[in-house]
Chain A
Amino acid sequence: MTVLLAIGTQKGLFLATGDDDRRAWQVGPALFPGTAVYTIGVDSRGPGPQLLAAVDNSHFGPSVAVSDDLGATWHEPESAPIAFPQDAGVAVERVWQIVPGSAAEPGVVYAGTQPSALFRSADGGRSFELVRGLWEHPHRPQWGAGFGGQAIHTILPHPGDPSRLLVAMSTGGVYRSGDGGESWSPANQGIKAYFFPDPWPEFGQCVHRVARDAGDPEQLYAQNHHGVYRSTDGGDSWQSIAGTLPSDFGFPIVTHPHRPGTLWNFPLTADSERHPTELRCRVYRSTDAGEKWEPQHEGLPDGPYYPVVLRDAMCADSLDPAGVYFGTRAGEVFASNDEGETWSTVAAHLPDVLSVRAVAV
């Protein structure tokens, strides 16, 4: 078994196929050339993986293209798959996240958009409906925009309970629903918002990404706009785990597919200095739920390194040992077939990498 790596960039989608060792990679030509691919959903609940690419043409707007044959062919519905209803008075600017629902809900797919909204599909991602419970939340007028826009970028369905759902947005923070999306509550206790006069607000945090632990679905990890946190109670409260990291700023946070307590991130120096700490291309890994972190860089570029890794541009595969992947805004993509111990180059000189997803094939 190997991996198909879907690489969404500012100017197209690239599909890379690894050899059996996930060391050597063949990269295909740009699909949707000239079109930004901000995220790629992978639905592995059916007989074969389905890819859902969020394509965003700067002239002709956003859409979702679906492939049932690992990217050989793509199709788009005639009508916009993700669109606000007329009474919302706004239009979808960009799709930031596409995530299949839990295994108990085949056909359910969620999408997070800019402006911040959650959409739900019951037909495998062909058509979506606005989740009004979140859209009509009284906090919504106070949600702000981060540097990249105002968007829901994280969607975590609960693996054991389809009625439970967590989203995160920049800015706004973490919100949870326990009734299938009908009602929502903020879940940001312990996450700092240093940019407000009261740095511990109920909501308004700039959470960059949330990931769920492989073993305990109540254990979550958040990479914040300055701050790295863990929750052991499903988001009721958060505690800092940034102590041994070189910086608490960054965008992605990725959990191991099987092993509890193992996760990766890519620290940047600060929001005002968005480059890797000490200008070195290094991933950081923790194997004890964030108590200690260690750098991983064997095979990554030496010397001064400036490019950043965006929140959707890092992922793990489902194999054993787990593969870890990330792409940079300089158009480089790196892969590790041994949980980050060593790295090889998948591609270079691509457009800015916005998203990566690994599909075991």
Chain B
Amino acid sequence: MPVLLVPGVLRAEAGGASRLEIAAAGTLGAVLAEVGERWPLLSRRIRDERGAVRRYVNVFVDGEQAALETPVAPGSEIQVLPSVAGGSR
């Protein structure tokens, strides 16, 4: 079962959890779709209403920067990290 690692700054949106077990697998898009169903507040921090990952959010699958079509294996680890390029001016 893939696991999504929630950054500290978003844990309130995931009920305080640091790791979320995801039933879906196949692609990152499928994983994020499940996140949208089960944790909608967390989901909208990661993706906009079109489903696009936000400009200053990066998602990694097993340590590699990922896109929605990136394969996700049952044992994969998905990491969501705020980009170094974001933040307040």
In contact, B54 and A61 (Cβ under 8 angstroms) = yes
Q: Tell me the minimal C-beta distance from A74 to chain B in angstroms.
A: 12
Report if A91-B52 is in contact (Cβ < 8 Å); known contacts: A60-B45, A61-B45, A78-B40.
Answer: yes
In contact, A92 and B88 (Cβ under 8 angstroms) = no
Count residues of chain A with CB under 8 A from any CB of chain B.
23
* A81 nearest in chain B by CB position: B44
In contact, A91 and B50 (Cβ under 8 angstroms) = yes
List chain A positions with a Cβ less than 8 A from chain B: 10-11, 34-36, 57-61, 63, 76, 78-80, 83-84, 86, 89-92, 351
Q: Tell me the minimal C-beta distance from B70 to chain A in angstroms.
A: 21
| Chain A facing B: main interface SS | loop
Q: Tell me the minimal C-beta distance from A86 to chain B in angstroms.
A: 7
In contact, A58 and B44 (Cβ under 8 angstroms) = no
In contact, A10 and B88 (Cβ under 8 angstroms) = yes
In contact, A34 and B45 (Cβ under 8 angstroms) = no
In contact, B44 and A79 (Cβ under 8 angstroms) = yes
A61 to B45, CA, bound (A): 6
Instruction: Please indicate which of the listed interface residues B41, B46, B50, B88 has the most CB atoms of chain A within 10 Å of its own CB.
Output: B88
In contact, A83 and B86 (Cβ under 8 angstroms) = no
Question: Which 3 pairs, one residue from A and one from B, show the smallest C-beta to C-beta distance?
Answer: A91-B48, A60-B45, A83-B49
Partner of B41, one of A10, A78, A83, A91: A78
In contact, A34 and B52 (Cβ under 8 angstroms) = no
17 contacts between A and B (CB under 8 A): A10-B88, A34-B87, A34-B88, A35-B88, A58-B56, A58-B87, A59-B54, A60-B46, A60-B82, A61-B44, A61-B45, A79-B40, A80-B49, A83-B48, A83-B49, A86-B49, A92-B49
Task: Flag whether B66 is at the interface (Cβ < 8 A).
Answer: no
In contact, A90 and B56 (Cβ under 8 angstroms) = no
Partner of B56, one of A34, A59, A83: A59
A315 to B89, CA, bound (A): 25
Task: Flag whether B57 is at the interface (Cβ < 8 A).
Answer: yes
A351 to B46, CA, bound (A): 26
Q: Tell me the minimal C-beta distance from A11 to chain B in angstroms.
A: 5
In contact, A10 and B89 (Cβ under 8 angstroms) = yes
In contact, A59 and B57 (Cβ under 8 angstroms) = yes
A11 to B57, CA, bound (A): 19
Contacts of B86 in A (CB 8 A): 58-59
Contacts of B50 in A (CB 8 A): 84, 86, 89-91
A91 to B52, CA, bound (A): 9
Q: Tell me the minimal C-beta distance from A32 to chain B in angstroms.
A: 11
Mask of B45-89 contacts with A, CB within 8 angstroms, 1/0: 110111010101100000000000000000000000011001111
